[in-house]
Structure 1
């Protein structure tokens, strides 16, 4: 019955989507078409608006928007028309008495810059913050004032369909089974995304690409899809760049800059940044413990006060050398260093069953940490005579090291004693990558792609916990260990796309991946090897309803391999009664993903809607359990990931861009889904007892985000966004809803060569995670806030750049950070 109910809901979703499509259909009319290019460069102008009004009947209004090649077309009844072509920062073109008596092509129209600029000055597009395409969404970070002075976590938390929780975990459409890439590669920080959310500065990021159902060309990793963070790279002719300085409260001092030098045979670019910040947060766990009959035995309230300092340095250096007009050699080196310290306090309040305070216990932690990373990439791109016929070969090596040490003092008023412990957590990470991509256009519209990807990773984590006994430190052998993780994945793919008719095109692909994974606990001598291989097919169909709307259907098979903190059974012990513990026995989760998408563009308005269904076997689920007691007899609550049998997740996702006026832009996103999970879990407590819990759970969840950008008098830009995450049920309780908001003001000064920006992140200091958990042995309420309200003031100065205009020249090669480039865009 449950599956029948699921089928009915899915049929309703599909019926609604086809209903939207039917309403979008228009009767046959004459087509007005043409092309818009920039006067200075003859480059196509994307997203220019075309407005058409019948001069004899003002109620007949139509129009469209240019695509990536500057083309536009729309349908109108025959007659005489007034046509207007406009784009922010360019002079408007007005055409009167345009006769339409059948299909009419207006030819190429050139729009001129509305500002007087020097010939050698680089000009940059004032794009929408979010570009909506049928197969992905592209979030342009450079145009978002709210994230100035922030981190990658702030950036991703402003991307449609994406959320970042208080601990840095990234979700896509509410699903944490997502793969995050950096510059199209799973290297370096991309394998520790929670750390990347805190280390990467917003100023170092160019754009974020969200691909909810990737094709076979992409890694099969990530059941919910792929998020690709594209870092800034130089692309433009001559010498140009910018510098941004930031001050904030709590302390946030930052300085970043990028410089690009491009000549006829080479292109050199660099991005450098420094940041010194302080982060304040807190955590709360109120616990009520029960006996076997459900009677209260005691209450323990736990309050954490976290104060973290972090100083980081980042440097990226790149060189593209044009060996011949058709052969480019690219090199890139990235170096990162971070030093941190933290002073964390945990206050425990112990109450008897009548909620009478018995005593207090305080735990004080002093933590020091450092992180060092270096990565080198080199690639060759060979272009052949035929357009889009090319071969790319790339290799990357990287190495990361992190050291984390903490000294903890535990003061117990009840026992009138003090105890001491210390722990260290040292990570070494090495990664190698080899990638080959080949693209061959076939016929008029066909496109064949094939390639290979090999990734080779080794991670070693050395965790040690020691207690001071007498005058000697004694290692706790129960929790001290060395975890070694080795992963080798070899993958081959091929895909082909073509048009079946003028309106219908397709793309079909197949990927094969072979995995060899070792998870070894060296001290306890627990060795685990997993070898598996699988085929990952993908299929895309796209139907152009008209020149401004499209419908797509897609399917792909995906996988999610557990790694990092998911596997590591040892963590920090800031609290000794509530902590996270990884599970080295996790198996990969496999997903079958189906997506039905609809895209419609009007003049000043773009809508992207999709209905989706994901079926995931061996899905990851985070669960809490009481796992024994500590030295003083207090119950220990442990949170761990486990594999459950199956999850069905289906829902709707809507994203829209709307420009009601030249001075006002709106962007909104709404995601609604239902999750059905079935499975039981059996675990062994620290005391050796075996318990079994049922985790069958069905829940509805949704979240929405809206961003408004208004140009006020005196050319002051005001941006505000808000997000609401609705409450939802979990397998062991309920997560609370959360409402948060950010705002910023920006003003161009010094003849538009500089910009000053003021922003406030988390205006109401409300961005936190709250949940209630119900276990047989306890009832608890928890709150977590990684960082409170942040106020920043930033100053950006551009040399040989102007903010309001369009970028003249693209960097040759795979400049968008995607794997391989050249994929047929399903538009």
Structure 2
């Protein structure tokens, strides 16, 4: 009660201090379209000095409100591509001055500036996330979502396509805020999303309780473009490259009073060659196996998205959308092997692979959004999402000995994979005052997966099934969660508290051996976020969240990958989830023409999932296991500096110091280590509407429980030419200019030595894009 009285007393004092304030509010719409103008700048200007006193931006609905004590002022509303509005002689006789609805007219002379501003990717900061707006960066021409993610601050993507955040795996990837078959790393589905389909990427290192607790490192939310301009608008892009990287894409949108119809479709072909070398040496016997070769993953892909927003009335919107993608894979490869006994060559052979696969995938979604009359941010949102991914794959491995007497059996594999996911969500948001908002909701997630994997070996002129390598694995997981959050956001200070509860039921079955694994557990996930604005140039944010990483099918399935039968991977059906407590403090600075943000964070993870390798008979078998704990203390720095109108630098630096503690099969994995990476991009505006972009990146060496991973440095560059005031854009880019992006790891202990090295090489890309209607070439990010 005493605390409540103190709070009420402080609140009363604040109210009295602002008793003389006048609130100015209004709504900004686009003239002729009646569409809201979000993020327009609203400024109160002193009439005598013409200097800004205070300001704000419009919300998603185009609404704004701000307070002022001085009456000798005028109001300005501005936004790129629109004529600035100025309001003088304001009436301050009451406590509230309602400007009502005002309309902004497009400024044809400044439309080219809209395109220019959007060409450069930029980062925004919210209470619980960073938002990376994907611009028309030259190096992103024709590339996939994985390459876009690799350009996002704090994010790294390795040569295998594995995504990490601040050096930590266990990242949950969402599409438009929801789980999606397009975000399934194991299916390479992100390869079917190209850069010009993406509006922005949200980096959420400490998600609030509103989000799934899945993903110990955090969440990456990929927001796809969906234009809402009146009339028929769109853009098309055509890309080509060496090695083969060809695609064509079209984005169309038609907006009427009641409907917003949108579609994206395209297709392409890409070849992803990768050079690999490896060495396995047994110190006890003196024998070793050395291999080298090139793997190809040739893909023909098609992608179609259809959807509509139906505006039932001003307060109710129904959205129905669907996505269909289809991939045809061809994976020819050849690996050369040499066998040595005490440094004496005794055999040479090569292993050839022929793999064909088809991957159909589709997704459908129904959304219903209801707004309440008292506040456009008072909403009820229901969504139902279903998705399917299938893989029908056949492979044949043939071995040919050219020297010596080693005989390797020829093999065939056949895979029938099916994954069905269903997500049902209900979210309620209520801003009970200008400063206080509550959120609550429930979610039910179903994952149903089956993988039928058969291995046949050629013996006595016939193909015979190998029962030791063949399995039929079933995986079913159900997660029910509910959450609640409450937030207060004042002019200077804000705080958000939340709690999420999730109940998990997991069932797996290895059908050919009747091995079952049945788990059920309930977890509580608290979250805390806070921010404080010290002044216009300096703000501080802090956050805490608890996260979980649940083992997936590929972690649990005890299958053998026999692409290289001297380096194989095996799943672990007894793998347990890992948990992470994440703490973070971030400072956001503006210093002249530079903006900086720096973060200090600490992650403590238990039951860490590590991939441990066992060496037997010159064969390295790698499997995931739970090994101890990991404490990671890190520092991150992101910045942007524009010393001249034609020159801009963007950079980020990330450093991790970690302490590993654990033991596996009487082997201690206690050690301390560090890992860091840095990236710097310079953008240079040249005469005749040419632009030059150069990006350099460094990755340090780092240690895992068994291996040493080598660092590398690489550079990308690109040139762009704008034609017809940006309606037509031509891009040329070179990825990994010096072919220095090399992934190498080494395992060295008393009994054996194992090293693996992979490289993709240099890539060239050439892109052409054209915008029509009100669409721009490679349509710029954001709604505007």
Structure 2 length-normalised TM:
0.87
Count of residue pairs brought into register by the alignment: 736
Cα shift readout 1:218-244 (whole Å, capped 9, x = no counterpart): 111111110011222232221100010
Question: 2:550 and 2:282 mapped to 1: Cα distance?
Answer: 36
Shift in alpha-carbon separation, 1:321–1:796, aligned structure 2, 3 A: same
Which residue number in structure 2 is paired with residue 424 of structure 1?
414
* C-alpha contact (below 8 Å) 2:202/2:220 kept by paired residues: yes
Q: Which of these residues, 527, 551, 555, is aligned with residue 544 of structure 2? A: 555
**What are the within-5 Å matches in structure 2 for residues 289-304 of structure 1?**
289-291=282-284, 297-304=286-293
Structure 2 match to 1:363:
351
Q: Which residue of 2 aligns with 1:650?
A: 633
Q: Shift of the alpha carbon at 1:356?
A: 3.1
Shift of 1:647: 0.8
Provide closer, same or farther for how the CA distance between residues 225 and 46 of structure 1 changes in structure 2, counting only shifts above 3 A: farther
2:183 alignment partner in structure 1: 190
The superposition leaves residues 652-686 of structure 1 with CA deviations (integer Å, 9 ceiling, x where unpaired) of 1111122222222221111101111111112xxxx
Q: Output aligned runs, 1:116-195, within 5 Å.
A: 116=109, 126=118, 128-134=120-126, 135-192=128-185, 195=188
Q: Where does 1:177-256 land on structure 2 (aligned, <5 Å)?
A: 177-192=170-185, 195-256=188-249
Describe the shift of the 1:123–1:719 C-alpha distance in structure 2 as closer, same or farther (beyond 3 A): closer
Task: Give the secondary structure class of the aligned counterpart of 2:118.
Answer: coil
In the aligned structure 2, how far is the partner of 1:346 from the partner of 1:278?
Answer: 18
The one of 586, 589, 609 equivalent to 1:600 is 589
RMSD of aligned alpha carbons = 3.6
Choose from 748, 768, 778 the match for 1:795: 768
RCO (CA 8 Å, sep 6+): is it higher in 1 or 2?
1
Q: Which residue of 2 aligns with 1:694?
A: 668
For the 8 Å contact 1:64–1:72, the answer to whether it is kept is no
Residue in 1 that maps onto 2:10: none
Indicate whether 1:584 and 2:578 are aligned.
no
Q: Give the conservation status (yes or no) of the 8 Å contact 1:89–1:804.
A: no
* 1:614-653 paired onto structure 2 within 5 Å: 614-626=603-615, 628-629=616-617, 635-653=618-636
Match of 1:815 in 2: none
Q: Is the 8 A contact 2:727 2:777 kept in 1?
A: no
Say yes or no: does 1:268 pair with 2:294: no
Residues 287 and 713 of structure 1: CA distance in aligned 2, closer, same or farther (over 3 Å): same
Contact preservation (8 Å) 1:192, 1:564? no
Task: Select which of 383, 386, 389 maps to 1:394.
Answer: 383
Tell me the SS of whatever aligns to 1:154: helix
Q: Distance in 2 between matches of 1:333 and 1:556?
A: 33
Distance in 2, Cα, partners of 1:366 & 1:661: 54
**Cα–Cα, structure 1 residues 196 and 646, in superposed 2: closer, same or farther, change >3 Å?**
same
CA drift of 1:399 comes to: 1.4
Aligned 8 A contact 1:126 1:803 in 2: no
**Does structure 2 retain, via aligned residues, the 8 Å contact 1:160–1:655?**
yes
CA separation of 1:655 and 1:63: change in aligned 2, threshold 3 A:
farther
Q: Per-residue deviation at 1:469?
A: 0.8
Q: Which has the larger displacement, 708-717 or 201-210?
A: 201-210
The CA distance in 2 between the partners of 1:436 and 1:201, in whole Å, is: 30
Matched residue SS, 1:585: coil
Which structure 2 residues correspond to residues 744-763 of structure 1 after superposition, within 5 A? 744-763=718-737
Greater alpha carbon shift after TM alignment, 476-485 vs 568-577: 568-577
Given that 1:706 and 1:721 are in contact with CA atoms closer than 8 Å, whether structure 2 keeps it comes out as: yes
Q: 1: distance between equivalents of 2:559 and 2:696?
A: 37
Match of 1:463 in 2: 453
Contact 1:124 1:801 survives alignment (8 Å): no
Matched, 1:737 2:711: yes
Name 1:12's counterpart in structure 2.
none
Give the conservation status (yes or no) of the 8 Å contact 1:615–1:646: yes
Residues 122 and 800, structure 1, Cα contact 8 Å, conserved in 2: no
Q: What is the CA-CA distance between 1:116 and the residue it aligns to?
A: 3.3
CA drift at 1:369: 1.1
| Structure 1 counterpart of 2:360, from 372, 379, 399 | 372
1:339 alignment counterpart: 328
Residue ranges of structure 2 left out of the alignment (5+ in a row): 1-22, 67-75, 87-96
* Deviation for aligned residue 1:179: 1.0
Pairwise CA distance, 1:486: 0.4
SS at match of 1:498: strand
Choose 595-604 or 331-340, whichever is displaced more. Answer: 595-604
- Mapped contact 2:607–2:628 kept (Cα < 8 A): yes
Which residue in the other structure is 1:3 paired with? none
Preserved contact between residue 65 and residue 602 of structure 1 (Cα < 8 Å): no
Deviations 1:683-724 (A, max 9, x none): xxxxxxxxx322112101100111222211111121121111
Indicate if the aligned counterparts of 1:123 and 1:808 stay in contact, CA closer than 8 A.
no
- Say yes or no: does 1:443 pair with 2:433: yes
- Counterparts of 1:151 and 1:37 in 2: how far apart (Å)? 36
In 1, distance between residues paired with 2:591 and 2:640?
A: 10
Alignment partner of 1:784 is 2:758:
yes
Q: How does 1:68-79 map to 2 (within 5 A)?
A: none
Separation of aligned partners in 1, 2:697 and 2:296: 26
Do the aligned partners of 1:257 and 1:271 also contact (CA within 8 Å) in 2? yes
Superposition deviation, residue 178 in structure 1: 1.3
Distance 2:406 2:218 in 1: 54
Q: Structure 1 CA distance, aligned partners of 2:753 and 2:584?
A: 39
- 1:484-499 matched pairs, under 5 angstroms: 484-499=474-489
Unpaired stretches in structure 1, ≥5 consecutive residues: 1-32, 56-60, 74-83, 95-104, 630-634, 683-691, 812-827
Cα displacement string for residues 576-625 of structure 1 (whole angstroms, at most 9, x for unaligned residues): 11122222211111111111111123554322211111111101112211
Q: Given that residues 119 and 135 in structure 2 are in contact (C-alpha distance below 8 angstroms), is that contact kept between their aligned partners in structure 1?
A: no
How does 1:71-90 map onto structure 2 within 5 Å? none
State how 1:324-335 maps to structure 2 within 5 Å: 324-335=313-324
Is 1:43 paired with 2:32? Answer: no
Asked if the contact 2:429–2:440 (Cα under 8 Å) also holds between the matched residues in 1, the reply is yes
Aligned 8 A contact 2:699 2:711 in 1: yes
Partners of 2:564 and 2:780 in 1: CA distance? 52
Aligned-residue offset at 1:759 = 1.1
Q: Which residue of 2 aligns with 1:477?
A: 467
- The separation in 2 between residues aligned to 1:539 and 1:408, in whole angstroms, is 53
The verdict on how the C-alpha distance between 1:782 and 1:85 changes in structure 2, with shifts beyond 3 A counting, is: farther
Tell me, in whole angstroms, the C-alpha distance in 1 between the residues paired with 2:474 and 2:483.
Answer: 30
Deviation at 1:199, TM superposition (A): 3.2
- SS of match in other structure, 1:389: strand
Q: Is the 8 A contact 2:209 2:525 kept in 1?
A: yes
Look up the SS of the partner of 1:611 in the other structure: strand
* Preserved contact between residue 81 and residue 111 of structure 2 (Cα < 8 Å): no
Whole-angstrom distance in 2 between the partners of 1:309 and 1:607: 41
Counterpart Cα distance in 2 of 1:807 and 1:472: 58
- Cα gap change, 1:808/1:305 in structure 2, threshold over 3 Å: closer, same or farther? closer
Q: Normalised by the size of structure 1, how large is the TM-score? A: 0.82
User: Residues 387 and 420 of structure 2 are in contact (CA less than 8 Å); yes or no, is this contact kept in structure 1?
Assistant: yes
Q: 1:417: how far off?
A: 5.3
* 411-420 vs 559-568, which moves further: 411-420
Which moved further from structure 2: 320-329 or 598-607? 598-607
- The yes-or-no answer on 1:672 pairing with 2:655 is yes
Aligned-pair CA distance for 1:391: 0.3
Cα distance in 1 for residues equivalent to 2:41 and 2:334 = 53
Query: Retained in 1: the 8 A contact 2:770–2:778?
Result: no
1:198 Cα deviation (Å)? Answer: 2.9
Question: Structure 1, residues 414-472: CA drift from partner, whole Å, max 9, x if none?
Answer: 22757321012221011111000000111231101000111011000111111011122
TM-superposed CA distance for 1:550, in Å, is 1.6
> Cα deviations across residues 110-129 of structure 1 (Å, max 9, x unaligned)?
9986643899x998962740
Moved over 4 A (4+): 33-42, 44-52, 61-73, 84-94, 107-115, 121-125, 802-811
- Contact conserved, 1:305 with 1:344, CA < 8 A, in 2? yes
